[in-house]
Amino acid sequence: MDSKIIRALEEILGKQSVLSAREDLMMYEYDGSIEVARPDVVVFPRTTQDVVRIVQLANRHQVPITGRGAGTGLSGGALARQGGILTVFSRMNKILEIDIENQRAVVQPGVVNLDITRAVEHAGFYFAPDPSSQKSCTIGGNVAENAGGPHTLLYGITTNHVLGLEVVMPSGEVLRVGGKTLDTPGYDLTGLLVGSEGTLAIVTEVTVKLTRLPEATKTLLAIYETVDDATETVAEITARAITPAACEFMDGWTLRVVEAWVHAGFPLDSAAVLLIEVDGLREAIEAQAAEILDVCKLHRAREVRVAKDSKERELLWKGRKNAFGAVGRLSPSYYVQDGVIPRTKLPATLREIDVIGKKYGFEIGNIFHAGDGNLHPIILFDPRDRGQYERAVAAAGEIMAHCIAVGGSITGEHGVGFEKSELMPLMFTEADLDAMRGVRHAFNPAGLLNPGKIFPFGKGCGEVRVQPFPITPATPL
């Protein structure tokens, strides 16, 4: 990159808000996926006006610009695929307004997801979307990827909780869309921008809905001797139209890995467990838990444990939410997918994944949002072995093709990013993609905003997590 651009950025933001040394840039070439892309310069705006000036400069020099929050994303969304300016929002991390009476909060994009809840729980409210990374991921990233989480089963994903945005357009214009009120007349630009993966505009302020904390919560751990019994339980819970707040599946392999790290008391000899949570009015959760217990028993659950207290509940969730981290201790790299299938197809799909794993010689771990049918098969492999890498990609491709064949989706919550852009044609026709390109053109005609994401190039690549230098944490988190 032209050093003039870096100097201009330093003039706009101050030297302490611009990184351009190679060793600094290396810190920003990763996210939670394995893709690697080094930006030419990293900047830390403090205000919307800072962002405007950065965008104007990028425009003048026709340099790509990519937004980034905490870098916890799982699809390469926050990587500067084509270099250029990486705009990191860690200094735009203020909660600007909390309006308990109207159940709204207005926050900057760098605010950490869980911090919104921490700021409002004293008044009996919380921010419902809860990605597993919620202790570190930021609301700007959540908005870009339309993030999910275990409790989206009942409460919906990010888009259901975002009502308005302030954005900086690729032209440098500042625009407000939506607002604090519901169903603003006009096209729902907020609904379009959430999940647009930073390719349409840069979000500088987010208006979110707050949710009343439930009166009571009950967490169940159902333990099974076979995977089929567990998946059939999920299918039947759904078919009986019981909607728990969360319904998570972990197979025996995954929970042994997790247990070795988190010590949550997961049974080491079981084939699968379901972590099911119900919340709401006291009367409602008692009735729901009783029904769920019936279904679990009908499908031969060996045992159903109920968390005694909030400490035990938190431990179970810690196991679930840190599972990917635990898996990372085992293998140089892993490949995690995000396909979605109809819940009625869960038992057959898990069997299919097992067959595919055997065919390619991998043990595939399964830990996922079962209640939503949102799978996260994990394939462990060593990327330094080219043959293994290729087999992992092929196995993953077959799993994804199966998801689409049964009417599902290539991504339920991680986003397309650049890992799944080549899979988009599995789901969408050229006309569908052209309509999306039309949308991008309306916002981002020069294509400078987060280029190389969502849309296929025609080059094959997968959602592969590679860690060339595996690091085993010395102590559990």
Please, are residues 25 and 39 in contact by the beta-carbon 8 Å criterion? Answer: yes
Q: In this structure, what token pair is assigned to residue 243?
A: 């909607």
Question: Rounded to 5 degrees, what are φ and ψ at 295?
Answer: -65, -40
Please, are residues 316 and 307 in contact by the beta-carbon 8 Å criterion? Answer: yes
Q: Which residue has the tokens 């599972």?
A: 323
- For the CB of residue 102, give the shortest distance to other proteins in the complex, in Å: 5
- For the CB of residue 106, give the shortest distance to other proteins in the complex, in Å: 12
Tell me the C-alpha distance between 26 and 436, whole Å.
32
Long-range contacts of range 48-54, CB-CB < 8 Å, 24 or more positions apart?
48/166, 48/168, 48/174, 48/204, 48/205, 50/12, 50/13, 51/87, 51/168, 51/202, 51/204, 52/168, 52/172, 52/174, 53/12, 53/13, 54/9, 54/12, 54/13, 54/85, 54/87
Which of these ranges, 2-10, 80-88, 389-397, 409-417, lies near other proteins under the rule CB under 8 A? 409-417
Q: Report 28-87 residues binding other proteins (CB under 8 A).
A: none
Q: Report 92-121 residues binding other proteins (CB under 8 A).
A: 99-104
Q: In this structure, what token pair is assigned to residue 208?
A: 């979110």
Q: Which of 196, 231, 233, 270 binds other proteins (CB under 8 A)?
A: 196
Residues in contact with other proteins, counted by CB under 8 A, come to a total of 89
- The full DSSP string for 151-214 is THHHH--GGGGEEEEEEE-TTS-EEEEE-SSSS-SS--HHHHHTTSTTSS-EEEEEEEE-EEPP
451 near other proteins, judged by CB under 8 A: no
SS3 label, residue 362: coil
414 near other proteins, judged by CB under 8 A: yes
- The full DSSP string for 59-123 is HHHT--EEEESSS--SSSTTS-TT-SEEEE-TT---EEEEETTTTEEEE-TTSBHHHHHHHHGGG
Q: Which of 45, 71, 408, 452 binds other proteins (CB under 8 A)?
A: 408
- For the CB of residue 296, give the shortest distance to other proteins in the complex, in Å: 18
Q: Which of 48, 59, 82, 184 binds other proteins (CB under 8 A)?
A: 184
217 near other proteins, judged by CB under 8 A: no
Q: Which residue has the tokens 């929970």?
A: 255
**283 vs 385, beta carbon nearer other proteins:** 283
Tell me the C-alpha distance between 392 and 387, whole Å.
9
- Determine the residue type at 54: I
Which of these ranges, 12-20, 301-309, 420-428, 458-466, lies near other proteins under the rule CB under 8 A? 420-428
Q: Going residue by residue from 335 to 364, which x/- string records binding to other proteins, judged by CB under 8 A?
A: -----xxxxx--------------------
- For the CB of residue 439, give the shortest distance to other proteins in the complex, in Å: 5
Q: Which of 70, 128, 177, 278 binds other proteins (CB under 8 A)?
A: 177
Which of these ranges, 56-64, 86-94, 183-191, 269-277, lies near other proteins under the rule CB under 8 A? 183-191
- For the CB of residue 179, give the shortest distance to other proteins in the complex, in Å: 7
**285 vs 327, beta carbon nearer other proteins:** 285
**218 vs 383, beta carbon nearer other proteins:** 218
**32 vs 252, beta carbon nearer other proteins:** 32
Question: Rounded to 5 degrees, what are φ and ψ at 238?
Answer: -65, -45
Q: Which of 10, 29, 188, 294 binds other proteins (CB under 8 A)?
A: 188
| Nearest by Cα to 466 from 375, 380, 402, 374 | 380
Q: In this structure, what token pair is assigned to residue 13?
A: 């933001």
**49 vs 102, beta carbon nearer other proteins:** 102
**93 vs 190, beta carbon nearer other proteins:** 190
Residues facing residue 272 across a β-bridge: 224, 251
| Nearest by Cα to 330 from 274, 254, 388, 249 | 254
Q: In this structure, what token pair is assigned to residue 455?
A: 């849309």
**100 vs 268, beta carbon nearer other proteins:** 100
Q: Report 362-401 residues binding other proteins (CB under 8 A).
A: 369, 372-374
Q: Which of 14, 387, 407, 476 binds other proteins (CB under 8 A)?
A: 407
**340 vs 356, beta carbon nearer other proteins:** 340
Question: Rounded to 5 degrees, what are φ and ψ at 219?
Answer: -115, 125
Q: Which of 106, 194, 257, 466 binds other proteins (CB under 8 A)?
A: 194
- For the CB of residue 453, give the shortest distance to other proteins in the complex, in Å: 11
Q: Report 243-302 residues binding other proteins (CB under 8 A).
A: 243, 280-284, 286-287
Q: Report 123-142 residues binding other proteins (CB under 8 A).
A: 124
- For the CB of residue 346, give the shortest distance to other proteins in the complex, in Å: 10
Q: Treating both helix axes as pointing N-terminal to C-terminal, what angle do 386-405 and 346-360 enclose, rounded to 10 degrees?
A: 160
- For the CB of residue 151, give the shortest distance to other proteins in the complex, in Å: 13
